[in-house]
């Protein structure tokens, strides 16, 4: 179970975030799931949301600590997002995270293809920040972390829609870093090749489009990463938790890559 793994291979100071409430979006799998587990281990009461009730229930049942909650919600339904945000009360930590759009050349997308991904990422995140920022100001502290992509610095071939969306998220976040109350930080995590279902789907998509064997696709990825392996989602989650610490208040408006050194830009 991941909870056991967190206690051994991925230690994070237990109780360092005692008394904090964290809302983790996209928590049913991948980086979102790992983040919920790490924040719970650090002492947070976690509110986990995603579309899958069964996966959320299973996550909560194995999570360290008590008092955690889950809500099944479709982030593309912005009316439901607004209603949800208005009902759950104040939070200390907001992790904006959601599955990426399908891959493929940008010119193969219609204008309509942009609507769903922008709604569940940018629009839903904006609703969340507007809803929870007043409570963070009242509490005198708040942490917002957006899980986006290394493509905000180096666009990735064949995921043009995702590149466009992630760039918009990064600019939105940087703008907010200049506007939010001094007690609130907002930062981005840029995952690299991470061992998630999303990466597997992307490998299959590239394989079907190019005829390259899936194993060769993954091997090509590994050859471009100095650490020569995929990132464990828990490694990314620890970086997210670090940005949420009280002692991380001077880190604001940054995009932190957790990519094993893959990017060549400074």
Residues 190-233 pLDDT 10s:
999 888 767 676 666 666 667 777 776 777 777 788 998 889 99
188 and 214 fall within a common domain:
no
Q: Are residues 169 and 58 in the same domain?
A: yes
Give the number of other Cβ atoms within 10 Å of residue 91's Cβ: 23
* 190 shares a domain with 154: yes
**Residues 122 and 246 reside in one and the same domain:** yes
Q: Is 37 among the domain residues?
A: yes
Judgement on whether residues 143 and 53 belong to the same structural domain of the protein: yes
154 C-beta neighbours (distance < 10 Å), count: 15
**Measured CA angle at 119 (ends 23, 144), to 5 deg:** 30
Q: Residue 33's domain spans which residues?
A: 2-195+233-258
- The mean pLDDT of 75-95, rounded to a whole number, is 97
Query: DSSP class of residue 155?
Result: P
CA 3 from chain centre, in angstroms, equals 19
For 154, phi and psi rounded to 5 degrees? -135, 95
- Rounded Cα distance between 154 and 117, Å, is 20
Phi-psi region of 250 (alpha: psi -120 to 50; beta: other; left: phi over 0): alpha
Q: How many domains does the chain contain in total? A: 2
Interval 136-168: pLDDT, tens: 999 999 999 999 999 999 998 888 999 999 999
pTM strictly above 0.85: yes
Calpha distance 55→52 (Å, rounded): 5
User: Got the DSSP string for 41-75?
Assistant: HTTPEEEEEES-HHHHHHHHHT-SSS--EEEE--T
Shared-domain flag, residues 208 and 79: no
Question: Tell me, what's the pLDDT at 121?
Answer: 96
Q: 202 and 92 in one domain?
A: no
Question: Are 147 and 223 in a shared domain?
Answer: no
Helix or strand or coil: residue 8? helix
The two structure tokens encoding residue 105: 């050349």
Backbone angles phi, psi at 80, to 5 degrees: -70, -35
Residues 120 and 68 in one domain: yes
């Amino acid at each position: 179970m991941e909870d056991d793994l967190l206690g051994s291979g991925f230690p994070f100071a237990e109780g360092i975030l005692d008394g904090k409430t964290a809302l983790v979006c996209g928590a049913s799998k991948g980086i979102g799931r790992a983040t919920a587990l790490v924040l719970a281990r650090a002492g947070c009461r976690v509110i986990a949301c995603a579309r899958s009730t069964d996966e959320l229930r299973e996550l909560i049942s194995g999570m360290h600590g008590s008092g955690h909650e889950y809500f099944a919600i479709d982030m593309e339904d912005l009316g439901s997002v607004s209603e949800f945000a208005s009902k759950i009360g104040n939070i200390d930590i907001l992790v904006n995270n959601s599955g990426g759009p399908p891959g493929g050349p940008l010119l193969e997308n219609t204008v309509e293809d942009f609507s769903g991904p922008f709604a569940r990422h940018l629009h839903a995140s904006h609703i969340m920040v507007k809803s929870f920022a007043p409570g963070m100001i009242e509490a005198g502290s708040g942490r917002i972390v957006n899980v986006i992509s290394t493509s905000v610095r180096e666009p990735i071939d064949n995921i043009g829609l995702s590149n466009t969306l992630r760039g918009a998220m990064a600019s939105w976040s940087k703008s907010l870093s200049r506007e939010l109350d001094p007690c609130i930080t907002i930062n981005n995590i840029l995952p690299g090749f991470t061992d998630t279902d999303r990466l597997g789907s992307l490998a299959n998509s590239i394989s079907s489009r190019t005829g390259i064997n899936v194993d060769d696709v993954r091997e090509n990825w590994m050859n471009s990463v100095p650490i020569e392996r995929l990132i464990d989602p828990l490694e990314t989650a620890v970086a997210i938790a670090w940005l949420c610490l009280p002692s991380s208040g001077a880190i604001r408006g940054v995009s932190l890559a957790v990519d094993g050194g893959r990017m060549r830009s400074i």
